[in-house]
């Protein structure tokens, strides 16, 4: 019995781990400006004639919007997503030197 149960549990665990690291998503907060831009993109791509939209909030964080036509958008992000790295200024230093006037 244990010879059948152990591989089954390991297979279930492996499937869960693959799902968690690749497909599992959670709502990600966005700014009001980003929501406005996304709503305008929705209107342009779907030729929506709506004049109103509402924000969707979760725990005081803006996570999406709902259009007057019924369309609903929620920003989702994989749980194990890499955080964006900050650009270092060392890359821009040569360019800054070119544009800096000599004193």
- Residues of this chain that bind Zn ion (CB under 5 A): 48, 50, 67, 69, 71
What is the number of other CB atoms lying within 10 angstroms of the CB of residue 99?
6
Q: How far is the CB of 74 from Zn ion (least distance, A)?
A: 15
Judged by beta carbon, residue 50 or residue 56, the one nearer Zn ion is 50
Cα separation of the two ends of the chain: 84
Closest by CA to 28, choosing from 50, 61, 1, 53, is 61
Q: How far is the CB of 29 from Zn ion (least distance, A)?
A: 22
Q: How far is the CB of 61 from Zn ion (least distance, A)?
A: 23
Judged by beta carbon, residue 63 or residue 67, the one nearer Zn ion is 67
CA dist 67 and 52 (Å) reads 6
């Amino acid at each position: 019995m244990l010879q059948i149960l152990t591989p089954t549990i390991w297979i279930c665990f492996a499937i869960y781990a693959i799902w968690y690291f690749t497909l599992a998503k959670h709502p990600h907060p966005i700014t009001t400006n980003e929501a406005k831009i996304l709503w305008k993109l929705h209107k342009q791509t779907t030729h929506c004639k709506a004049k109103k939209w509402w924000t969707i909030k979760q725990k005081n964080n803006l996570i999406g919007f709902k259009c007057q036509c019924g369309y609903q958008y929620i920003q989702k992000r994989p749980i194990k997503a890499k955080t964006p790295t900050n650009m270092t200024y060392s890359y821009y230093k040569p360019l800054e030197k070119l544009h800096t006037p000599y004193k």
